[in-house]
Amino acid sequence: MDDLKNSAALRKIAEGWQFIGESALEDFCWNNLDTLFGFAPLERQLTIKGETCDLLALNQKQLIIIELKNVEDRYIVQQLTRYYDNLIDFTPFDDKINYDLPIRLIAIAPIFHRHNFIDRKYSKLDLEFITFSILHVKHRFYLNLKNTITDEPIKKIEINYREINFKNTGRKEIPSPPKKLIDWLGALTVEEVSNLLKIRNKILEFDRRIEEIVDKTSIIYGSKYRKDKVKPCAEFCFDIRAKKVLIFLWLKVPLRKHKTVTRMQVQTKYEYKYWMRYIKVKQGKLSCKKMETIHLKGYPSYFSSKNLDNGFLRKEIVIDPMEDLVQEALTIWQERV
């Protein structure tokens, strides 16, 4: 299995499991169009007349328009109708699409409202409804597609996701991760989960004043002051496209006379164990061999190195432990509170 192609972030709900968001569903279907339907991907998020279609696919020059919903939606038929009209008017990709062939319109959702079936019944267009569900069987997850008319299965493929269970684990003074973080962790490898949790524990163990604040799209680590203010030191976000947790730290801007503290994204490497930074080097001044004997300390640089010939610098320059950088962010936070 191609881990990245088949991986996705899920979340547990009362009815079972669902994708963490509509864009996660879109990513998974786009990456697996051939496996799910035998379609070739053409374009995603195409905007015409201010309206954006989720996925466009091809089947031997026949155009397929796909609209995806992570929850029930009453207006999916109207959306597909407008996308159809826009594409007929503008005929994009006419070198790849045979517009003389009928255009297939496919709606994919976990459940359809009864209004959807009424709208489809009286529409002049031929619309296909496909339901999806996420099956959890023996610690494995599967995307299951069904035809709404025949209730026959269309396809079932595995999703690379693991349920993370933190009950009765970890140190007493460190609370179990919030549900949002647990949802994100399921899309990571075992090594990534282990190293990311070490970073989380290091932050929360540093000072009792540091809280884990769950926001709409991120998790912030910092101390509260006044009524609604936060002095942050770190933040976790989830990149749905990359299926990775992004780490931001509040660090001092390098090469400035006045050390301004700002939020910086850390370019992590090797399952969150290390981070990478760039340095500015004049051409021919530093060879790769010499670089191996130098260990540079500091903050991420805004300068990129050149890709040089004859054994001179490569693009990736300095790799340092994440533990050291997190400690630096915590020290800076402590100086500010």
Measured CA to CA in angstroms, residue 61 lies from 84, 98, 230 at distances of 16, 5, 54
Got the DSSP string for 203-231?
A: HHHH-TT-EEEE-SSEEEEEEEETTTEEE
Task: Give the pLDDT score at 70.
Answer: 95
Number of domains in the chain: 2
154 with 185, same domain: the answer is no
Predicted TM-score (pTM) of this structure: 0.72
Specify the pLDDT at position 69: 96
pLDDT value for 314: 47
Tell me the C-alpha to C-alpha distance, in Å, between residue 112 and each of 19, 29, 107, 128, 153: 17, 18, 9, 12, 16
pLDDT confidence of residue 30: 96
Q: Are residues 212 and 102 in the same domain?
A: no
- The answer on 222 and 121 residing in a single domain is no
| Statement to judge: residues 142 and 252 lie in one domain | no
Range of the domain at 82: 3-159
Q: Are residues 39 and 95 in the same domain?
A: yes
Domain match, 235 and 196 both: yes
Quick one: 155 and 184 in the same domain?
Answer: no
pLDDT tens for the chain, 337 residues long, are 456 788 888 988 888 999 988 999 999 999 999 999 999 999 999 999 999 999 999 999 999 999 999 999 999 999 999 999 999 999 999 999 999 999 999 999 999 999 999 999 999 999 999 999 999 998 899 999 999 988 889 999 999 998 877 654 444 578 889 999 999 999 898 899 999 999 999 999 999 899 999 998 999 999 988 878 899 999 999 998 888 999 999 998 876 677 788 999 998 888 898 887 655 554 544 444 444 444 444 433 333 344 445 554 444 455 678 998 999 999 999 998 8
CA contacts within 13 A on the Cβ side of 17: 23
State the Cα torsion 191-194-200-205 to the nearest 10°: -140
Residue 170: inside a domain: no
Do 197 and 242 lie in one domain? The reply is yes
